[in-house]
Amino acid sequence: MCVAAAIAGATLGASVLGAGAAQSAANTQAGAQEQAAQIQAQMFNTITGQEQPFMQAGYGATTALNQLLGLAPGGAAGLPNGYLTQTFNPSSITSSPGYQFAQSQGLQQVLNADTPAVGALSGPALKDLTNFATGTAEQYYNNYFNQQQTQQGNIFSRLSALAGLGQNAASNTGTAGTQLGSGTAQAIAAAGGAQAGGTIGAANALSGGISSAANMYALNNILSPQPSSPPYGGYGFTTGMPMPSSNYGVQYGLSPTYGVGGS
């Protein structure tokens, strides 16, 4: 095999090795990026699973609030629809066991006290009974009004706290989804870029090697012995034979013995 052919073969072999190395490095980088994308997706799924109970509680509390505020059909926790917007009904006092007991016991005590002095059916006795009944109603009105307001406020506060807990969980999930989704997209894009870069690098290495080999073969064909007569054949780069006395060697920069640049 001539020297030029050997050099060309070595050049082409090196380009093939370079192309393989470029593609292998690209595959390694792409694999790492794809693994990073999978890890981020798994992290998002884990966060979503952990926040899910709080979100479900928030959904339930929000539904109950809408029903108790009269914003959605149906009742909640045994309370009627729109309960939290109901105004206080004074007539409900009379059905209260506490009020009924206090009223009956108090009236009896007033009657027992007035009977010996003024008589059970006297005007003063009736006036005392009326004043007691009115005072008891006023007292229980204020108590029951405050109790209703407190009860409505407690129900609203507890449901609102649960709804807020669900809102925070959903917000945390959304934030994590945005961040991890962006990271996943970047990792996938980087993996694609690495694969593309490796393919381009491999193609460039092969192309360069082929081009170098072709140039070497072309130069060898110009300088190697040819079957034709001078000035183009017979004595050149690969033979090491003396060149004949001729102006052609001087014209093409060839030395008398070894060819291009020889001495």
Tokens of 7: 């050099």
Tens of pLDDT along the chain (263 residues)? 455 555 656 665 666 656 666 667 767 777 777 777 787 788 888 888 888 999 999 999 999 999 999 999 988 888 999 999 988 888 778 878 888 888 888 888 887 877 776 666 677 778 888 888 888 888 888 888 888 899 999 999 999 999 999 989 888 888 887 777 777 767 776 666 666 666 666 666 556 656 665 665 565 655 555 554 444 444 444 444 444 444 444 444 444 444 444 43
Q: What is the pTM of this model?
A: 0.51
User: SS3 for 254?
Assistant: strand
Mention every residue, 6+ apart, whose C-beta is less than 8 A from residue 2. Answer: 220, 224, 238
pLDDT of residue 4: 52
DSSP H or E stretch at residue 12: helix 3-68
pLDDT of residue 15: 61
CA–CA dist 130, 182 (Å, integer)? 77
- Domain edges within the chain: 3-223
Angle between helices 123-223 and 97-117 (to 10 degrees): 160
DSSP H or E stretch at residue 260: strand 259-260
CA–CA dist 30, 205 (Å, integer)? 20
pLDDT of residue 19: 62
